[in-house]
Amino acid sequence: MIKPHGSDTLNPLFVYDTEKHHQLMHEAESLPTLMLNSAAAANAVMLGAGYFNPLKGYMNLADSLSVAENLHTTDGLFWPAPIMNLTQDISGIEGAKRIALRDPNTEGNPVMAIMDVDNIETITDEQIQGMAKEIFGTLDPEHPGVATFTSLGNHLISGKIQVLSFSYFQNDFPDTFRTAVEIRNEISERGWEKVVAFQTRNPMHRAHEELCRMAMERLGADGVVVHMLLGKLKKGDIPAPVRDACIRKMVELYFPKNSVMVTGYGFDMLYAGPREAVLHAVFRQNMGATHLIVGRDHAGVGDYYGAFDAQTIFDEKVPAGSLDIEIFRADHTAYSKKLDRVVMMNEAKDHEKEDFVILSGTKVRQILGEGIAPPPEFSRPEVAQILMDYYQSENG
């Protein structure tokens, strides 16, 4: 099986030993506490689940700046986006060497992790702006990632963590949330060697379905791991339970048995386009995938990124040998009326624009909201029904 990034074995930061877990939870009651923001909490979940291997905790300022500017930590580890614990208020933890981190997204704010504080540093607005520009490629406050990143605070707390909770993800998505450890184990149990990962924050339409099928066939892969984001999205995105139901229905009806694993991970969407695509590759390698599908506008939002910037970054910014996982590059996909199937548009010869069925996400949401099913060339009818039910309940 493919090696994790940066180490020979996967080293998740979740404390699985029951006795040790109990001891740390007891210790946390007497420690100074910090309420995490959602971004830092999502980082803790990913660190605990092994997705951010080989990191041992939150980055300090020097590493964060180095990663933002050069895609490497100060000691040379390839890493595409800073993994930080930023906060606006340190009054409750000043001078503390060991603190309890609390979950902002779960009722009662239970302890998520215990942190050994190496440093509490002040990060200037200028540094935050500089990092945002590198990570997101823009400083437009309308960009949802920029808006979140620049509002997290000017205090940076770095150090190792021991993770005690996966927040709400295990309870809310018991059939879907999986750690990198669990996915690796299941890949091994299935005997899969060549494994394709498909990233999604949306329901899967015919084009997505066909993309997975194409990747499997062209790579000779044993299976696909559909890996959906379960954390916070921007307003207007479809909630995770609805996406989950759509994807499971599509896999059940339209893929061979035991060829697809439907899973999810606990992270908030960054909308960082190319940089986020590389982060996706890192943590898909950690979960055991040998290939990641990178398509049009991967992890993008609005018109901030070129259609294929998330592919070219692997040529321009990722040094050879930095990652073992490989990229399956996908073009625009659409239904060809001429060929009566979904195709990559750059491979469809003798086609004009009117030969394709192309619908924008906005148009699809509009017709679903009106209770009209998208054309079968765009969406499987069983998936469309789930989406229509959701939109009508929202608009009703």
| Residues of the chain under the 50 pLDDT cut | none
How far is CA 104 from each of CA 38, 46, 309, 387, 396, rounded to the nearest angstrom? 6, 16, 34, 30, 31
* Type of residue numbered 50: G
Residue 47 lies in a domain: yes
Residue 320 lies in a domain: yes
Regarding whether 384 and 367 lie in a shared domain, the answer is: yes
Regarding whether 200 and 335 lie in a shared domain, the answer is: yes
Regarding whether 182 and 166 lie in a shared domain, the answer is: no
Q: Which residue has the tokens 């990747």?
A: 215
Total count of domains within the chain: 2
Domain boundary residue, one of 170, 198, 227: 170
DSSP secondary-structure letter at 216? H
Tens of pLDDT along 321-379?
A: 999 999 999 988 888 888 888 888 888 888 988 888 876 666 777 788 788 888 888 88
Regarding whether 182 and 149 lie in a shared domain, the answer is: no
Residue 273 lies in a domain: yes
Regarding whether 208 and 137 lie in a shared domain, the answer is: no
Regarding whether 223 and 148 lie in a shared domain, the answer is: no
Regarding whether 207 and 67 lie in a shared domain, the answer is: no
Whole-model pTM? Answer: 0.94
Regarding whether 334 and 189 lie in a shared domain, the answer is: yes
Residue 372 lies in a domain: yes
Regarding whether 123 and 164 lie in a shared domain, the answer is: yes
How many Cβ atoms from other residues are within 10 Å of residue 194's Cβ? 15
Tens of pLDDT along 240-282?
A: 889 999 999 999 999 999 999 999 999 999 999 999 999 999 9
The closest alpha carbon to 1, from 241, 218, 261, 191, belongs to: 191
DSSP secondary-structure letter at 373? P
DSSP secondary-structure letter at 121? E
pLDDT value of position 183: 98
Domain boundary residue, one of 110, 141, 170: 170
Residue 5 lies in a domain: no
Domain boundary residue, one of 121, 154, 170: 170
Residue 282 lies in a domain: yes
pLDDT value of position 153: 97
123: domain CATH number is 3.10.400.10
The closest alpha carbon to 137, from 292, 303, 281, 295, belongs to: 303
Residue 4 lies in a domain: no
pLDDT value of position 358: 76
Active-site annotation, residues: 201-202
273: domain CATH number is 3.40.50.620
pLDDT value of position 83: 98
Regarding whether 222 and 134 lie in a shared domain, the answer is: no
The domain in which residue 109 lies consists of: 18-170
How far is CA 378 from each of CA 293, 321, 342, rounded to the nearest angstrom? 20, 38, 9
Regarding whether 163 and 26 lie in a shared domain, the answer is: yes
Residue 10 lies in a domain: no
Q: What is the DSSP string of 304-372?
A: SS-TTHHHHHHHHTS-TTS-S-EEEE---EEEETTTTEEEEGGG-TT--GGGEE---HHHHHHHHHTTP
Regarding whether 373 and 240 lie in a shared domain, the answer is: yes
